[in-house]
């Protein structure tokens, strides 16, 4: 399909405008060109206010409003518009001023056709790159149930990275806690990449028994081991011309890491029981929630394999560090389940949203999704209320706010008093939950033992009253 290109040509010499139109038409056959003309800056400004242009080619010296003034005003109307200034060699100073005011570039008059077409191409490519960078969210297949939600600054950065990485063929390692969206990112990179029409093949390295993993990845020949009745095509071959997603790559056994390292380096492998090498051009994306650096220290993960995978890492932040995304995700899941379960819920109440923002979400977005799905079953009214949230979420929030409420006393507010009150409350509730057992409290509340003992003494807490009799 031909891309359309809207160009505004601004010059007070009609002959020059005509020749530019014909140069563009002959040198850019890959575009469906729509040209508009204007004979001074004022007319140009009127056109820009009415229509959207991919490019403005503009003379400087014109009656009524000159090119430099028009440029400034056009940029105020639409700062992203690409303006190329046309100027005579003797007036190069104009070109410099124009670039300072946001012109993309300049071209000297008389216009050289080759230079003009090269410049226009450069302007288009740059514009596309810039607009990719500001894309709101990466596209995901045509599956209406999956969409990338992310309003937070951190997710914006990830969107930029996805759009950039989609177009370069490097290995990507996606890292993040459970349920942060690692697989979604992998799919988004695939769907925005040149391999998007090829397959997206996922393999969970943690879910397949060790002895079958090699043949899962590389395939096997008939009779190559007991049970190998038929020839099997491995995931690497299935993912040819597409993307192979190695999920939970941290679970892979070291000897398989060696084999995979070789595939990443040489782009070829040997099916089990075969003596024929097979080439692969699948793009590799891996994901893990494990601390691979620590695993390397403990010799559970190979350093050479790690460096091969880690060419471009993407870190997905946990949900509790992107609270700005919660409202958007909640709405997205409410719409999803309204469609799926054919039951309409209009939103969450304000207090429910406040609770959802306070909770720590150890299971991240997946946990939030499950929480909303569950609320659809329990809630009778049009809005999700705190009563239809899972017990564990309410309990955690409650525990925490009890501590904080201790500080809300009526005396003069003092930070140290508040802090101590909260600390005492925390320690007492931790002891209560652990029946006054010191070692259990240490482990459970993640507090060093000597700190705990010191605080018990400081606040004169009678531990024996928490013991179960």
Ligand X SMILES: Nc1ncnc2c1ncn2[C@@H]1O[C@H](COP(=O)(O)OP(=O)(O)OP(=O)(O)O)[C@@H](O)[C@H]1O
Binding residues for ligand X, rule: CB under 6 A, are 146-150, 176, 178-184, 289, 329, 332, 365-366, 369
Nearer to ligand X, 87 or 191 (CB): 191
Classify 33 as helix, strand or coil. Answer: strand
Binding of Mg ion at residue 379 (CB under 5 A)?
no
Pairing between β-strand 55-59 and β-strand 278-279 as defined by DSSP bridges: unpaired
Region class of 222: left (phi > 0), else alpha (psi between -120 and 50), else beta: beta
Residue with Cβ nearer ligand X (6 or 289): 289
- Beta-strand ranges (E) seen in 211-353 are 219-220, 232-233, 243-247, 268-269, 278-279, 283-288, 312-315, 347-348
| Nearest alpha-carbon partner for 203 in 314, 281, 285, 277 | 285
Which of the choices ligand X, Mg ion, none does residue 150 contact, using the CB cut-off of 5 to 8 A by kind?
Answer: ligand X
Among residues 70 and 188, whose Cβ is nearest to ligand X? 188
Compare residues 97 and 146 and give the one whose CB is closer to ligand X.
Answer: 146
If one asks whether residue 369 binds Mg ion (CB under 5 A), the answer comes out as no
Question: Smallest gap, in angstroms, from Cβ of residue 341 to Mg ion?
Answer: 24
* Cβ distance to ligand X smaller for residue 218 or 337: 337
Q: How far is the CB of 159 from ligand X (least distance, A)?
A: 9
From CA 456, how far away is CA 469, in angstroms rounded? 21
Mask 27-66, x = binds Mg ion (CB under 5 A)?
A: ----------------------------------------
For Mg ion, the closer CB: 318 or 436: 318
State in angstroms the smallest separation of the CB of 177 from Mg ion: 11
- Contacts (Cβ under 8 Å, ≥6 apart) of 303: 296
β-strands 219-220, 232-233: how paired?
A: antiparallel
Contacts of 467 (CB under 8 A, 6+ apart): 435, 436
For residue 253, the minimal CB distance to Mg ion (Å) is 19
Among residues 183, 251, 379, 428, the one that binds Mg ion under rule CB under 5 A:
183
Residue among 289 and 349 whose Cβ is closer to Mg ion: 289
C-alpha–C-alpha distance, residues 361 and 2, integer Å? 47
- 387 and 355 in contact (C-beta within 8 Å)? no
b vs e for 430-453, b when ≥16 Cβ sit within 10 Å of the residue's Cβ?
bbeebebeeeebbeeeeeeeeebe
425 binds, among ligand X, Mg ion, none (CB under 5 to 8 A by kind): none
Residue count, binding to Mg ion (CB under 5 A): 1
429 vs 423: CA distance, rounded Å? 10
Determine the residue with CB nearest ligand X. Answer: 181
Binding part of the chain for Mg ion, among 52-60, 179-187, 205-213, 293-301 by CB under 5 A, reads: 179-187
Contacting residues toward Mg ion, per CB under 5 A: 183
């Amino acid at each position: 399909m031909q891309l359309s290109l809207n160009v505004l040509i601004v010059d007070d010499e009609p002959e020059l405008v005509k020749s530019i139109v014909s140069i563009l038409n002959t040198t850019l056959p890959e575009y469906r060109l729509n040209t508009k003309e204007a004979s001074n800056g004022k007319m140009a400004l009127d056109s820009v206010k009415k229509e959207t242009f991919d490019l403005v080619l503009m003379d400087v010296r014109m009656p009524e409003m000159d090119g430099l003034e028009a440029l400034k005003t056009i940029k105020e109307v639409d700062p992203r518009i690409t303006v190329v200034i046309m100027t005579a060699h003797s007036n190069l100073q104009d070109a410099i001023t124009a670039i300072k005011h946001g012109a993309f570039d300049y071209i000297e008059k008389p216009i050289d056709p080759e230079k003009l077409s090269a410049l226009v191409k450069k302007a288009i490519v740059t514009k596309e790159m810039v607009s990719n960078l500001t894309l709101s969210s990466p596209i995901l297949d045509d599956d209406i149930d999956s969409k990338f939600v992310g309003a937070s600054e951190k997710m914006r950065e990830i969107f930029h990275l996805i759009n950039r990485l989609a177009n370069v063929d490097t290995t990507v390692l996606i890292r993040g806690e459970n349920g942060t969206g690692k697989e979604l990112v992998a799919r988004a990179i695939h769907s925005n990449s040149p391999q998007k029409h090829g397959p997206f093949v996922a393999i969970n390295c943690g879910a397949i028994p060790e002895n079958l993993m090699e043949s899962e990845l590389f395939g096997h020949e008939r009779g190559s081991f007991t049970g190998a009745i038929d020839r099997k095509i491995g995931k690497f071959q299935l993912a040819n011309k597409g993307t192979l997603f190695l999920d939970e790559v941290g679970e892979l056994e070291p000897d398989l890491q060696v084999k995979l390292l070789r595939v990443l380096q040489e782009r070829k492998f040997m099916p089990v029981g075969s003596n024929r090498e097979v080439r692969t051009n699948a793009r590799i994306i891996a994901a893990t929630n494990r601390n691979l650096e620590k695993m390397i220290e403990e010799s559970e993960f190979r350093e050479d394999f790690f460096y091969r995978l880690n060419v471009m890492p993407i870190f997905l932040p946990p949900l509790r560090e992107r609270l700005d995304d919660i409202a958007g995700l909640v709405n997205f899941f409410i719409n999803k389940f309204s469609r799926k379960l054919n039951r309409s819920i209009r939103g969450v109440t304000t207090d429910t949203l406040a609770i959802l923002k306070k909770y720590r979400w150890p299971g991240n977005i997946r946990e939030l999704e499950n929480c909303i799905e569950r609320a659809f079953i329990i809630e009778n009214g049009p809005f999700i209320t705190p009563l239809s949230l899972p017990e564990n979420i309410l309990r955690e929030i409650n525990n925490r706010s009890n501590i904080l409420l201790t500080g809300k006393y009526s005396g003069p507010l003092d930070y140290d008093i508040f802090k101590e009150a909260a600390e005492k409350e925390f320690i007492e509730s931790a002891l209560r939950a652990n029946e006054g057992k010191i070692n259990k409290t240490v482990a459970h509340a993640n507090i060093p033992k000597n700190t705990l003992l010191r605080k018990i003494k400081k606040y004169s807490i009678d531990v024996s009253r928490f013991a179960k009799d």
